[in-house]
């Protein structure tokens, strides 16, 4: 697959799935080797921790004794705090790998052309970029996040006059594209955070890359389609726990159902509920690769300064073969 080339809207969609068709086995094998243990641990902690928490909440509210819930939190304050910190650290580590892996994988693939990339090579790239990712994280936390909070806050406020809905519909894919372009440019070029942010924003609107028309709508549409696909799949996993929960609540109201009305989250059905939610978290992490790889192809599309270089190198290679 040629990375540095101009793609229209349909090519961005088809090439995203074409990427996984061509490189999916190697890609996900390495992704699971690096991120799989963290995600499994995160899911296990979620299932055990949240099941216990919701069971306590349901039991306390079912008895009408809210002080029992307060007592539970006081008695288990240290354990709950350590568990929360552990979940946060694991979630952060899994997020770091999930967001940087596609960038470093596609970078190595585009530079070397090898289709047999090893997990050790990606792990080495991750280690070499730890300091840069730390700076990237700080930039996201103190620069991007406040801007997005203000912009999306205004959009939510304007939903009372409907225009806010359309603003959110436009801004969410756009914001995701800016972040993806920032991420790819930052790690592909070695430029600073603000230089990469400037490029990420300009690439959505301007003709800075020798274009004769703005690429805004094909980028926006491509991300919107990927986001829609992800939401449809994750909604299926989300609806299952919701239906189970409704069943538990209705069953709890039936005295002869055998379900403890004070704790509808207990028993085997409660376990199934939280396992399904845990699996939905895992599926969400996996499906995020669609948007990130799609964002990478959009980034390579935007780098028109490298398209001619790649084309000339291919012509030279053909000339050498004929010679």
User: Would you kindly state where each structural domain of the chain is located, as residue ranges?
Assistant: 9-129+216-322
Confidence (pLDDT) at 206 = 73
Percent of the chain predicted with pLDDT > 70:
74
Lowest mean pLDDT of 1-15, 40-54, 85-99, name the range.
40-54
Nearest to 229 by CA among 153, 302, 162, 289: 289
User: With the CA atoms of 307, 116, 101 and 299 taken in that order, what torsion angle do they form, in degrees rounded to the nearest 10?
Assistant: 10
The rounded distance, in Å, linking the Cα atoms of 119 and 104 is 11
Nearest to 282 by CA among 50, 82, 37: 37
Check residues 234 and 274 and name the one with the higher pLDDT: 234
Confidence (pLDDT) at 210 = 52
Mean pLDDT calculated for residue range 89-93 = 86
| Terminal-to-terminal C-alpha distance of the chain | 25
For the entire predicted model, the pTM comes to 0.82
Confidence (pLDDT) at 319 = 45
Is the model's pLDDT at 17 over the cut of 90? Answer: yes
**Where are the alpha helices (H) located in the chain, listed in sequence order?**
9-63, 66-75, 77-112, 119-128, 130-139, 145-157, 163-189, 193-205, 216-252, 267-302, 304-322
């Amino acid at each position: 697959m040629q990375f540095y080339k101009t793609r229209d809207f349909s090519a961005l969609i088809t090439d995203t799935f074409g990427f996984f068709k061509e490189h999916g086995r190697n890609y996900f094998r390495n992704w699971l080797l690096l991120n799989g243990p963290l995600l499994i641990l995160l899911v296990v902690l979620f299932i055990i921790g949240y099941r216990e928490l919701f069971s306590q909440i349901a039991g306390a509210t079912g008895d009408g004794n809210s002080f029992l819930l307060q007592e539970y939190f006081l008695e288990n304050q240290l354990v709950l705090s350590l568990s929360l910190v552990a979940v946060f650290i694991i979630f952060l580590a899994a997020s770091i790998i999930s967001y940087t892996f596609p960038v470093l994988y596609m970078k190595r693939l585009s530079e070397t052309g090898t289709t047999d990339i090893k997990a050790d090579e990606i792990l080495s790239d991750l280690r070499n970029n730890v300091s840069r990712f730390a700076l990237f994280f700080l930039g996201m936390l103190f620069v991007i996040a406040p801007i997005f909070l203000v912009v999306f806050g205004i959009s939510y406020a304007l939903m009372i006059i409907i225009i806010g809905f359309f603003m959110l519909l436009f801004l969410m894919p756009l914001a995701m594209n800016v972040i993806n372009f920032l991420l790819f440019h930052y790690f592909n070029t070695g430029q600073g955070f603000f230089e990469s942010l400037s490029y990420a924003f300009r690439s959505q609107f301007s003709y800075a890359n020798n274009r004769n028309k703005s690429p805004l709508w094909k980028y926006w549409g491509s991300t919107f389609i990927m986001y829609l696909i992800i939401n449809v799949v994750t909604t299926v996993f989300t609806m299952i726990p919701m239906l189970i929960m409704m069943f538990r609540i209705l069953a709890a109201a039936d005295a002869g159902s055998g379900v403890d009305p004070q704790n509808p989250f207990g028993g085997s059905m409660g376990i199934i509920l939280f396992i399904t939610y845990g699996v939905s978290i895992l599926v969400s992490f996996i499906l995020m690769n669609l948007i990130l790889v799609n964002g990478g192809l959009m980034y390579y599309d935007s780098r028109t300064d490298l398209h001619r270089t790649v084309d000339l190198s291919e012509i030279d290679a053909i000339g050498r073969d004929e010679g």
